[in-house]
């Protein structure tokens, strides 16, 4: 979702159907709506949903081969013995 959660605001073009007690309908932008004061609009209660890493940087075979070659150990990026 392209939501700017980092600053606590939500900016999308979507609208929430607001049904008042009179049955009237108002399409309101979903910004800064309180809960439960605004009874029929979805509560504005953002909850971050961090994107997860679900793709391996390489396949199982590649990782196995890499482990076999390097023993899985982290190698220094420079020659520390120099």
Q: Which residues bind another protein (CB under 8 A)?
A: 1-3, 5, 10, 12-17, 19-21, 23, 25, 30, 35-36, 39-56, 59-60, 63
Q: Do strands 15-19 and 25-29 pair parallel, antiparallel, or not at all (unpaired)? A: antiparallel
CB of 21 to another protein, least distance (A): 6
- Taking the C-alpha atoms of 18, 20, 25 and 31 in order, what is their torsion angle to the nearest 10 degrees? -30
If the CB atoms of residues 46 and 70 are measured against another protein, the closer one turns out to be 46
Task: Report the nearest approach of another protein to the CB of residue 7 (Å).
Answer: 13
Rounded Cα–Cα distance for residues 40 and 71 (Å): 59
């Amino acid at each position: 979702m392209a939501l700017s959660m980092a600053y606590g605001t939500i900016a999308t073009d979507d609208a929430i159907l607001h049904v008042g007690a009179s049955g009237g309908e108002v399409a309101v932008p979903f910004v800064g709506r309180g809960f439960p004061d605004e009874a029929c609009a979805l509560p504005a209660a953002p909850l971050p949903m961090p994107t997860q890493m679900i793709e391996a940087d390489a396949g199982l075979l590649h990782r196995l081969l890499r482990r076999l070659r390097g023993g899985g150990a982290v190698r220094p990026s420079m020659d520390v013995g120099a």
